[in-house]
């Protein structure tokens, strides 16, 4: 019965899955830019950095439903509030991991770079970023997996993706395909999470500087 | 949502969160009082409605957290015993994978298969919050210095005495961090329980969306945020207080 | 029934043919070991890593259960008795110290008495008594937490804790290993003084031959494969090493190190030197070690020693005579 439903609706399901993945990736990209940017900008301001970490960390305690809803007066319904809320959630894992990654770079190496005459920008690009990258990437990965599940709630603000299936199933409870729809939505989300996770493993392999993997 | 490590909470900033919550609650009250509300808004924001939803929400969170601890801690302890070594890793891996399942999905599927209402929502909440409690109990016990257990057994403590005198007390900080995460998860998922007729503040938010009334939506969301912040703040205090001295 | 050393009144610990075999390893960790430790003796088990000394120690309180053989403690076969009860009667001190960080120092010391059901005020009294014994002021340290103490202080608490239930036997596994070298030597000396007062039967494991020579009444030197190479007094081991392995293990300078264990009074019996033929001397006590006497002679640039005997008498020996007498295999007291 469920298989029948799947085969009948395959194109639509795949489209929604694709939308879901796109939604997450776009939101994570924004989170990453903000998270990494803030981490590097506050390099010399540890107190501000700590405050930012506390604030973004506390943002995670906000129930996603509430945050999505609050975006409506500002951004209406649809893609915009969904992306905004997801991007806000995604900042903390990226920020935290970037800070950890930067702080984890061996100070001796930085000292050597300074001794060689590298300016701050050069140091960041040539030394800190490549060495901190695995940890940063892991933070982005964590954010992504977190957002895949959260994005399902985006359906309450008419956001794209697989959440729609779950809510439609709920709305039609007792109806013919209700359970199938909801189940398809849930399984779809898990699969998207899996695929994106594998994607990140691949990206990690490709982008990590060779010397760190040896 | 990950916050497995024990955050370094400074006493000087402990007042920030309650201050913000207070500000928000006052702000909301003033807002509701000053903005002209039509009849449906007045109905949705009637004090009894708000307090009932709040109470339902709190009940959901408290009951499910208590159950999560009651199941998660003993299970976690059991899975760290030497005879169940393999099972522990399997359960942990399964639970980790389970985190990819959206909370709304669990709620909805359970409701559709078994029915709506308070207790079904509690089951969904417990299932979802079990991972942090289970994982942190296992991690907490495993990170206890082996030398201490050796000293304990060498002294003549039975395995049970070692568990209660050494392993559990020393695992408490990590376990508390896990319980705190579970609490926050529960507040969040309980917000969605409105969709399966379990009540809670989420019902105010969804009526706001359904009726397209911003005031209702805003009040519902802000109150939910206030509840979440308060619970997190209280959990943080409990974490600090309940941590054994000397660690 | 033949005389079993295990049940002799002199023997406190008797390991009878004990073996330990681990299922995933080819060779036995300990193979058919028999060893007798007398009441009130301080025995040190020493050897290179992997020789089975720690496994042997941990078989005495059955933290490692022997695959073969029997263990006798205080005349009783304890191989199969209730293991928790057995351990409450044996003091156990480990290298990592293992103080419970969430309990105060006093509570840590009182742990075994608590397990035995001793009343709270009696426990407190006993803890204070023991802290005093190990040189830690109870009023100052009793209510502190382990992390507030230095490594050396923590290990003193570890020793106090092991003594709390007044066990006749103490097992110590590299107890001074985690302490810095200066504190270590101090702890060793103090522990020796403590042992003179309390006279427990002690089995201590170390990989440091010097520590063994310093502390033990008898030393058991283990070779690879848990072979017991020699089990004898420090003096005998230095004077008459059983084989090349022992000689190598003791290391270079055994002959000179012997001198620290020989007292001047024990070796001067054979000297025949005349007083007038010696020009410069330093005064030494018959109770001082030959090593110390030599140190004094070298420092003063003298040619001999003037031994101050009981009753005002004295004896003069030149340095060559002293060393020749000391080099004899078996020392003869005067």
Does the beta carbon of C101 lie under 8 angstroms from any beta carbon of chain B?
yes
Range with lowest mean pLDDT among A126-130, B226-230, C49-53, C91-95: A126-130
Q: In sequence order, what are the beta bridge partners of C45?
A: C205, C220
Express each pLDDT in B109-135 by its tens digit: 888 888 888 999 999 999 989 989 999
Cα nearest neighbour of B242 on chain C: C102
Express each pLDDT in A158-214 by its tens digit: 999 999 999 988 888 777 788 888 999 999 999 999 999 999 999 988 887 766 665
Confidence of residue C331 (pLDDT cuts 50, 70, 90): low
Does A71 score more than 50 pLDDT? yes
Question: ∠ CA(B162), CA(B165), CA(B168), 5° rounding?
Answer: 90
Instruction: Provide the domain count of chain B.
Output: 1
Average pLDDT over residues C19-37: 89
Q: Is residue B37 part of a domain?
A: no
The percentage of chain A sitting over the pLDDT mark of 70, rounded to a whole number, equals 98
Question: ∠ CA(B207), CA(B104), CA(B214), 5° rounding?
Answer: 25
Q: Is residue B26 part of a domain?
A: no
Q: Name chain C's partners: 3 or more CB pairs within 8 A.
A: B
Q: In sequence order, what are the beta bridge partners of A181?
A: none
Relative to beta strand C227-232, strand C281-284 is unpaired
Residues of C in contact with B166 (CB under 8 A): 100
Mutation target to probe the B interface, by most B beta carbons within 10 A, among A61, A140, A146, A156 is A61
Taking phi over 0 as left and psi of -120 to 50 as alpha, with beta for the rest, A174 belongs to left
C-alpha torsion angle, residues C144, C145, C147, C148 (rounded to 10): -10
Does B97 score more than 80 pLDDT? no
Does the beta carbon of C111 lie under 8 angstroms from any beta carbon of chain B?
yes
Give backbone dihedrals phi and psi of C80, rounded to 5 degrees, phi first: -125, 10
Average pLDDT over residues B54-67: 95
Q: pTM for the complete prediction?
A: 0.79
Min distance B244 CA to chain C CA atoms (Å): 6
Q: Is residue B41 part of a domain?
A: no
For residue C282, the number of C-alpha atoms closer than 13 Å in the C-beta half-sphere is 18
Min distance C6 CA to chain B CA atoms (Å): 23
Does the beta carbon of C169 lie under 8 angstroms from any beta carbon of chain B?
no
And the tokens for C165?
């239930």
- Domain of B67, CATH number, reads 1.10.3720.10
Residues of B near C (Cβ–Cβ under 8 Å) read 145, 147-148, 150-158, 161, 165-166, 169-170, 244-247
Give backbone dihedrals phi and psi of B228, rounded to 5 degrees, phi first: -60, -45
Average pLDDT over residues C116-131: 94
Express each pLDDT in B7-23 by its tens digit: 445 556 778 888 989 99
Relative to beta strand C227-232, strand C68-73 is unpaired
For residue C22, the number of C-alpha atoms closer than 13 Å in the C-beta half-sphere is 9
Q: Is residue B21 part of a domain?
A: no
Say whether the A–B interface has 3 or more Cβ pairs within 8 Å. Answer: yes
DSSP helix/strand/coil, C92: strand
DSSP string, C48-87: STTSSHHHHHHHHTTSS--SEEEEEETTEE-TTS-HHHHH
Give chain C's mean pLDDT: 87
Distance CA B31, CA B96 (A): 42
**ipTM surpassing 0.90:** no
Domain limits for position B160? 48-242
Q: Is residue B40 part of a domain?
A: no
Query: What order do you get walking across the sheet with C304-308 strand by strand?
Result: C281-284, C304-308, C314-318
List C-alpha distances in Å: A81 to A19, A86, A199, B224.
15, 8, 26, 18
Considering CB atoms only, which of C61, C85, C97 is closest to B154?
A: C61
Q: In sequence order, what are the beta bridge partners of C35?
A: C15
Are B100 and A148 within 8 A, CB to CB? Answer: yes
Are C171 and B154 within 8 A, CB to CB? Answer: yes
Q: Is residue B182 part of a domain?
A: yes
Range with lowest mean pLDDT among B136-145, C128-137, C313-322: C313-322
For chain B, how are helix, strand and coil distributed in percent, rounded to 5? Answer: 80, 0, 20
For residue B14, the number of C-alpha atoms closer than 13 Å in the C-beta half-sphere is 12
Query: Is B133 within 8 Å of B178 (Cβ atoms)?
Result: yes
List C-alpha distances in Å: A206 to A27, A130, A133, A209, C302.
22, 12, 12, 8, 77
Confidence of residue C274 (pLDDT cuts 50, 70, 90): low
Window 115-154 of A, Cβ < 8 Å to B: 142, 145-146, 148-150, 152-153
Express each pLDDT in C37-79 by its tens digit: 999 999 999 999 888 999 999 999 999 999 999 999 998 999 9
Does the beta carbon of B18 lie under 8 angstroms from any beta carbon of chain A?
no
* B232, containing H or E segment: helix B214-242
Mutation target to probe the A interface, by most A beta carbons within 10 A, among B15, B102, B186 is B102
Distance CA C131, CA C148 (A): 16
Q: Is residue B36 part of a domain?
A: no
Are B102 and A57 within 8 A, CB to CB? Answer: no
pLDDT at B11: 59
Range with lowest mean pLDDT among A193-207, B28-42, B162-176, C180-194: B28-42
Ranked by mean pLDDT, the top range of A27-31, B80-84, C96-100, C321-325 is A27-31
And the tokens for A209?
């500087």
Are B221 and A156 within 8 A, CB to CB? Answer: no
Q: Which residue has the higher pLDDT, C334 or C70?
A: C70
**Spatial CB neighbours of B22, under 8 Å, sequence gap ≥ 6:** none
Residues of B in contact with C149 (CB under 8 A): none
Cα nearest neighbour of C100 on chain B: B148
Window 93-132 of B, Cβ < 8 Å to A: 99-106, 108-109, 111-113
């Amino acid at each position: 019965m469920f298989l029948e439903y799947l085969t009948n609706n395959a194109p639509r399901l795949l489209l929604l899955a694709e939308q879901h993945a796109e939604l997450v990736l776009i939101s994570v990209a924004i989170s990453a830019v903000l998270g990494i940017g803030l981490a590097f900008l506050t390099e010399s301001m540890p107190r501000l950095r700590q405050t930012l970490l506390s604030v973004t960390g506390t943002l995670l305690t906000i129930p996603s439903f509430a945050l999505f809803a609050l975006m409506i007066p500002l951004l209406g319904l649809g893609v915009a509030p969904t992306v905004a809320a997801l991007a806000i959630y995604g900042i903390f894992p990226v920020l935290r991991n970037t800070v950890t990654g930067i702080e984890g770079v061996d100070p001796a190496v930085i000292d050597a770079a300074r001794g060689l005459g590298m300016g701050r920008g050069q140091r960041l690009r040539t030394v800190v970023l490549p060495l901190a990258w695995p940890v940063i990437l892991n933070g982005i990965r964590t954010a992504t997996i977190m957002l895949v599940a959260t994005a399902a709630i985006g359906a309450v603000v008419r956001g794209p993706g697989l959440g729609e299936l779950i809510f439609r199933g709920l709305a039609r409870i007792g109806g013919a395909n209700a359970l199938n729809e909801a189940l398809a939505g849930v399984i779809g989300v898990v699969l998207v999470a899996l695929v994106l996770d594998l994607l990140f493993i691949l990206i990690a392999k490709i982008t990590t500087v060779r010397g760190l993997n040896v | 949502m990950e916050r497995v490590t024990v955050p370094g909470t400074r006493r000087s900033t402990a007042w920030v969160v309650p201050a913000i919550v207070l500000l928000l609650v006052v702000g909301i009250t003033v807002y509701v009082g000053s903005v002209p509300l039509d009849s449906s808004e007045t109905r949705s924001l009637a004090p009894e409605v708000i307090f009932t939803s709040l109470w339902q929400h709190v009940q959901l969170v408290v009951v499910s957290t208590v159950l999560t601890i009651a199941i998660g801690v003993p299970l976690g302890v059991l899975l760290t015993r030497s005879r169940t070594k393999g099972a522990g890793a399997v359960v942990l891996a399964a639970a980790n994978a389970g985190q990819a399942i959206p909370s709304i999905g669990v709620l909805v599927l359970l409701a559709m298969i078994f029915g709506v209402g308070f207790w079904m929502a509690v089951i969904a909440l417990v299932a979802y919050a079990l991972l942090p409690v289970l994982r942190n109990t296992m991690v907490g016990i495993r990170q206890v210095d082996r030398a201490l257990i050796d000293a304990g057994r060498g002294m003549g403590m039975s395995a049970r005495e070692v568990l209660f005198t050494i392993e559990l007390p020393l695992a408490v900080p990590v376990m508390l961090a896990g319980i705190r995460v579970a609490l926050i998860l529960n507040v969040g998922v309980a917000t969605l329980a409105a969709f399966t007729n379990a009540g809670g503040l989420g019902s105010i938010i969804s009526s706001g969306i359904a009726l397209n009334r911003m005031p209702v939506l805003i009040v519902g969301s802000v109150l939910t945020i206030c509840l979440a912040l308060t619970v997190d703040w209280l959990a943080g205090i409990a974490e600090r207080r309940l941590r054994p001295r000397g660690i | 029934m033949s005389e079993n050393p295990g049940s002799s009144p002199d023997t406190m610990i008797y390991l009878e043919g004990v073996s330990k075999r681990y299922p995933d390893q080819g060779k036995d960790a300990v193979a058919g070991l028999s060893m007798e430790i007398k009441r009130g003796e301080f025995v040190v088990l020493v050897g290179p890593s992997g020789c089975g000394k720690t496994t042997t120690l941990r078989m005495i309180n059955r933290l490692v259960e022997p695959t073969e053989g029997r263990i006798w403690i205080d005349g009783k076969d304890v191989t199969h008795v209730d293991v928790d009860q057995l351990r409450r009667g044996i003091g156990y001190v480990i290298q990592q110290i293992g103080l419970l960080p969430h309990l105060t120092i006093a509570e840590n010391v009182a742990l075994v008495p608590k397990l035995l059901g001793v009343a709270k005020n009696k426990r407190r009294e006993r803890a204070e008594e023991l802290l005093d014994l190990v040189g830690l002021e109870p009023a100052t340290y009793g209510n502190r937490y382990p992390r507030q103490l230095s490594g050396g202080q923590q290990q003193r608490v570890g020793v106090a804790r092991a003594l709390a239930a007044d066990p006749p036997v103490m097992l110590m596994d590299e107890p001074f290993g985690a302490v810095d070298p200066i504190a270590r030597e101090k702890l060793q000396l103090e522990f020796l003084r403590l042992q003179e007062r309390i006279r427990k039967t002690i089995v201590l494991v170390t990989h440091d031959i010097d520590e063994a020579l310093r502390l033990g009444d008898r030393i058991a030197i283990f070779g690879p494969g848990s072979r017991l190479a020699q089990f004898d007094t420090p003096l005998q081991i230095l004077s008459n090493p059983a084989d090349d392995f022992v000689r190598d293990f003791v290391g270079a300078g055994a002959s000179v190190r012997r001198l620290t264990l020989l007292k001047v009074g024990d070796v001067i019996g054979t000297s025949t030197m005349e007083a007038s033929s010696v020009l410069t001397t330093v005064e030494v006590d018959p109770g001082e070690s030959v090593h110390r006497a030599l140190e004094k002679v070298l420092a003063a640039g003298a040619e001999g020693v003037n031994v101050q005997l009981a009753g005002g008498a004295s004896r003069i020996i030149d340095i060559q005579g002293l060393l020749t007498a000391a080099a004899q295999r078996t020392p003869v007291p005067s």
